[in-house]
Amino acid sequence: MQACGLIVEYNPFHNGHVYHIQASREASGADCLIAVMSGSFLQRGEPAIIDKFHRAKAALSAGVDIVLELPYLYAVQSSDLFARGSVHTLNAVGVSSICFGSESGNISHFTKSYDIFKQEQSVYKTTLHEKLNQGLAFPEASRLAYQSIGLTTSEMNLAKPNNILGFSYVKTILDHKLPIDPLTITRTKSGYHDKRITDSIASATSIRNELIKEQSISDTADSALPEVTVNQLKAYQQQAALWHSWEHYFNLLHYRVMTMSQEELADIHGVDEGLEYRIKKSAQDVSSFHEWMNSIKTKRYTWTRLQRIFTHVLTNTKKTDADYIKNASSVPYVRLLGMTKTGQKYLNSCKKEMDVPLISSIIGITNPTLSIEEKASRAYYSILPAQKKKPFHHQELQPPVMV
């Protein structure tokens, strides 16, 4: 059996993802599709709208065979670490290929860009540091550094978000000489043939915002999302009475910051350059998450970077915690969230050859990165009333979801 890997967040699973599944199956010719998915918190530093199990179920119902959880320490990170964790997780379960969506849609442009990047790495680095020293945020500094080595042309534009992520995947595969074929499918609006998909991708962000704001499924959302997602959104809401957003966490986050010393805040992963003062000071007088973010945001501190930092504050993730993955050349474990019969068959065939443990239930396992995972998941559910939390914590200890 051959497997193809997908790197996803499914927040929520939408029609574009259905297309990604179909196109990946076609492009790779694989019998088994394995998605590595962010857990409770997402790459841009936000709580997922519904929990990982409901998101996994939607994906499994729509054609994915296995869903693995990307460890928190890799998930809530900039693209390089996010890519490293995702690719290594997929490598650990022996995928032959990884298929990602990109604006480019042409894999040879990625591999060519990799060669250029390797040759011009010193120019890239010099420009990057120069721009960071000028006070630019990392994404902007990196864009200008890519520009300085000719990687923001129309053929391969590393200013586009999905190209950037895809390039990180390709870099990880080639840097570590992993036996994985990178594949890509077009992710721009015009690249899709189906009008319904086009529209739904374009509106994914606005639908997510609408879901969070209204806390109910509007007609627009209902028609733009696959039925599997609508079902899982409804099921989760019935159990938890809400869909998660940062504003739900404002009180906890504010309480936490107000009862931390500046020294403790400075120990949190991502809190650098005296940011602890800005966070403490601004906390005095804010009454919503949005207001707080706006009062700290600067050119250097982008919205996303600050959200990631606040996620680490909420989950109490320390600089010393992040050290676990700093120089790791593989992931500490692979955690299975759910699978189909096909997925199960694939895992049975590959698990003997795996170099890292495959975890299907976290009961009784003690491991420093798993305890970070537990803190993140506890923080995620902490906004629910005491009685509602219980079944979700129970779920964390259960065997994987079978669809």
288 binds its own copies (CB under 8 A): yes
390 binds its own copies (CB under 8 A): yes
287 binds its own copies (CB under 8 A): yes
Q: 7 a known binding residue?
A: yes
Q: 248 a known binding residue?
A: no
- Strand pairing class (401-402; 334-339): parallel
* CB-CB contact of 18 with 226 (8 Å): yes
Q: 162 a known binding residue?
A: yes
Q: 54 a known binding residue?
A: no
- Beta carbon of residue 237, minimum distance to its own copies (angstroms, whole number): 20
Nearer to its own copies, 382 or 398 (CB): 382
**Dihedral sign (CA 396, 399, 400, 401):** negative
Strands (E), 197-268: none
Tell me the CB-side half-sphere exposure of residue 174, using CA atoms within 13 A. 16
Listed in sequence order, the DSSP H helices in 39-180 are: 52-61, 72-75, 79-92, 107-119, 121-133, 138-148, 161-175
Q: Which of 250, 310, 333, 392 binds its own copies (CB under 8 A)?
A: 250
- Type of residue numbered 167: F
Contacts (Cβ under 8 Å, ≥6 apart) of 8: 17, 20, 35, 36, 37, 38, 59
Nearer to its own copies, 299 or 393 (CB): 393
Expressed in percent and rounded to 5, the helix, strand and coil fractions of the chain are 55, 10, 30
Distance CA 88, CA 70 (A): 10
Instruction: Number of residues interacting with its own copies: please give it, by CB under 8 A.
Output: 30
279 binds its own copies (CB under 8 A): no
Nearer to its own copies, 224 or 313 (CB): 313
Tokens 């599997």 belong to which residue? Answer: 228
Buried b (16+ CB within 10 A) or exposed e, 389-401: eeebeebbeeebb
- Beta carbon of residue 371, minimum distance to its own copies (angstroms, whole number): 7
* CB-CB contact of 181 with 2 (8 Å): no
366 binds its own copies (CB under 8 A): no
Distance CA 162, CA 168 (A): 10
319 binds its own copies (CB under 8 A): no
Distances (CA, A) of 339 to 36, 126, 138, 368, 394: 12, 45, 37, 26, 19
| Window of 170-178, 189-197, 232-240, 257-265 that interacts with its own copies by CB under 8 A | 257-265
75 binds its own copies (CB under 8 A): no
280 binds its own copies (CB under 8 A): no
Nearer to its own copies, 306 or 313 (CB): 313
Q: Which of 371, 398, 399, 402 binds its own copies (CB under 8 A)?
A: 371
269 binds its own copies (CB under 8 A): no
387 binds its own copies (CB under 8 A): yes
- Strand pairing class (66-70; 32-38): parallel
- Beta carbon of residue 125, minimum distance to its own copies (angstroms, whole number): 36
133 binds its own copies (CB under 8 A): no
- Type of residue numbered 257: V
Show contacts with its own copies in window 32-61 (CB under 8 A): none
Crossing angle for the helix pair 15-28 and 195-202, to the nearest 10 degrees:
120
Nearer to its own copies, 259 or 327 (CB): 259
- Beta carbon of residue 397, minimum distance to its own copies (angstroms, whole number): 10
260 binds its own copies (CB under 8 A): yes
Any idea what DSSP says for residue 399?
A: P
219 binds its own copies (CB under 8 A): no
389 binds its own copies (CB under 8 A): yes
259 binds its own copies (CB under 8 A): yes
Interface positions with its own copies (CB under 8 A): 250-252, 254-256, 258-261, 264, 284-288, 314-316, 371, 375, 378-379, 382, 385-387, 389-390, 393
Q: Which residues are annotated as a binding site?
A: 7-20, 101, 162, 187
Q: Which residues are annotated as a binding site for ATP?
A: 7-20, 101, 162, 187
